[in-house]
Amino acid sequence: MIRVFALVATLTAITILILVVRFKLLGTDDHRRSIPEQPNPAKSLLMFLLTLPVLVAAVVAMARGLLMPMIGNAIGYGLLLGGAWLLWRGLVSEAAYARRLIAKTPFPLKAVGGGLIGLGTGLTAWLGVGHHPGIAFAFGLVALLGCRLFYGGDPVAAKRVTAASGLDTTDQVLAALGQAERAIAAVEQSSRDIRQPELNQRLRRVAALAREILTLLEEDPRDLRRARKFLNVYLDGVQRVVEGYARTHQRAASPDLDANFRRVLTSIEEVFQEQRRKLLESDIMDLDVQIEVLTSQLKREGLL
């Protein structure tokens, strides 16, 4: 029995070591990008794998009728698992925060997760292993410090945006962008139910264009007023049409309906391309005006 556990322990330790060295210390493609799309998987998995022996210990203690170690290990594992989950959610939230140009301050998930890991480690060391409470406290403290150093702190400052009038419009911009993103996600979800490669490809293009427009709006939220029609009318319309087509398409195939839907998608794509062009043009116009102002200022001062 002990030999089997020793073997499992050794294999798990080797797996952790390989994962950590491969993804964390050597780095992945994600690290080469300036802003990661998703958190490092090895970083997220580490804590889940590292705490597994406590679960096995709780089961073995229960099987052998050892009350105190069983309670200590079970509660300790619950805390460790909760902490690992919060740390993982914290990493996901941090990656999303890094991707956005406008964002609210996220909840300090990593700090709470680190606290739970510290608490779980201390409790396991005290009740599960039988260490002196002082030593168990030291275990918890070292675990907490390790989490803080390895996973880093949570983002503390919000990425805010203010209108020309000086009003803080962060909430309005985030609400508009969030609604638009939900509509795009719904379109993508419905397109999975449509079994026509050509239409799927067209829908993917439409979704990609819509996301590009949202990125442009996020970069310059002043354009939000100009893009209101796109956000409120077109995106909602696209969502309704695609959802309706996906539902009908599953029940019965109709060539007329397919042709109509293809036509609608072509028009939508054209409208989206036009919207993107307008947003880019307004940026170029802004730049032209700025260059003109700067040139006249330099001329006035006799530098040109």
Partner 1 sequence: MPSFPRKVLGLLLILAAVGVASWQALAVSCSSPAAAAETTRHAARHAEPRETHP
Instruction: State whether the Cα torsion 198-200-201-203 is positive or negative.
Output: positive
* Count helices and strands in the chain by DSSP H and E runs: 12, 0
Closest distance of CB 55 from partner 1, Å: 9
State which residue, 142 or 298, has the beta carbon closest to partner 1.
Answer: 142
State which residue, 142 or 294, has the beta carbon closest to partner 1.
Answer: 142
Question: CA nearest 221: which of 177, 187, 158?
Answer: 177
CA distance 273 to 210: 9
Closest distance of CB 73 from partner 1, Å: 5
State which residue, 72 or 115, has the beta carbon closest to partner 1.
Answer: 72
Question: CA nearest 117: which of 84, 95, 139?
Answer: 84
Burial class (CB in 10 A: 0-12, 13-18, 19+), 133: exposed
Closest distance of CB 11 from partner 1, Å: 13
Closest distance of CB 77 from partner 1, Å: 9
Strand partners, 103: 159
Closest distance of CB 88 from partner 1, Å: 14
- Interaxial angle between packed helices 41-50 and 67-99, expressed in degrees from 0 to 180 and rounded to the nearest 10: 170
CA distance 172 to 178: 10
State which residue, 23 or 261, has the beta carbon closest to partner 1.
Answer: 23
Strand partners, 168: 162
Closest distance of CB 150 from partner 1, Å: 3
State which residue, 57 or 216, has the beta carbon closest to partner 1.
Answer: 57
Torsion angle of alpha carbons 264, 267, 271, 272, nearest 10°?
60
Closest distance of CB 137 from partner 1, Å: 11
CA distance 183 to 218: 16
Cα 244 to its chain centre, rounded Å, is 29
Closest distance of CB 78 from partner 1, Å: 14
> Which residues contribute to the site for partner 1 (CB under 8 A)?
1-2, 5, 9, 20, 24-25, 46-47, 50-54, 56-58, 60-61, 64, 66-69, 72-73, 76, 80, 117, 121, 124-130, 132-133, 139-140, 142-143, 145-151
State which residue, 53 or 106, has the beta carbon closest to partner 1.
Answer: 53
- Interaxial angle between packed helices 52-63 and 67-99, expressed in degrees from 0 to 180 and rounded to the nearest 10: 160
Burial class (CB in 10 A: 0-12, 13-18, 19+), 170: middle
State which residue, 153 or 244, has the beta carbon closest to partner 1.
Answer: 153
State which residue, 62 or 96, has the beta carbon closest to partner 1.
Answer: 62
